Amino acid sequence: MSGGWAGSTRRAELPPNWYSQVRPFILDRDEHRCRWRENGTVCGRWANQCDHIGDRDNHRPENLQALCEHHHAIKSSREGSEARWRETARRKPERHPGLI
């Protein structure tokens, strides 16, 4: 796999019925329309992606939404960036030279 999926185990973490039942149910429920909200407006473009709103291990319908490919990429990129910053080793803050 290329891109963000390279080396990922995410597909293995999804329930066995993800592609046969869960994902199709969410896309049908949301009428294959992107639920991305920005400035109080819903995108509404054709959605072919199923996204976890909150906890990525919670596969209940209340935690899932349909997104278009464009907005799912934006959301995933933001989440990945936030995770990287949390994991980045930061240098310990140095004391101010005048306080030494």
| Span 63-99, pLDDT tens digits | 999 999 999 999 989 988 887 777 665 677 788 887 6
Strands 49-52 vs 64-67: parallel, antiparallel or unpaired: antiparallel
Q: Is residue 21 part of a domain?
A: no
The whole-angstrom separation of Cα 55 and Cα 15 is 14
Boundaries of domain holding 67: 36-79
pTM for this prediction: 0.75
Q: Is residue 92 part of a domain?
A: no
Q: Is residue 68 part of a domain?
A: yes
Q: Is residue 96 part of a domain?
A: no
Q: For residue 56, which of 27, 83, 35, 32 has the smallest C-alpha distance?
A: 83
| Span 24-72, pLDDT tens digits | 999 999 999 999 999 999 999 999 999 999 999 999 999 999 999 999 9
Q: Furthest-apart CA pair in the chain: how many Å?
A: 65
The whole-angstrom separation of Cα 14 and Cα 41 is 30
Q: Is residue 88 part of a domain?
A: no
Q: Quote the number of domains for the chain.
A: 1
The whole-angstrom separation of Cα 31 and Cα 60 is 18
Q: Is residue 29 part of a domain?
A: no
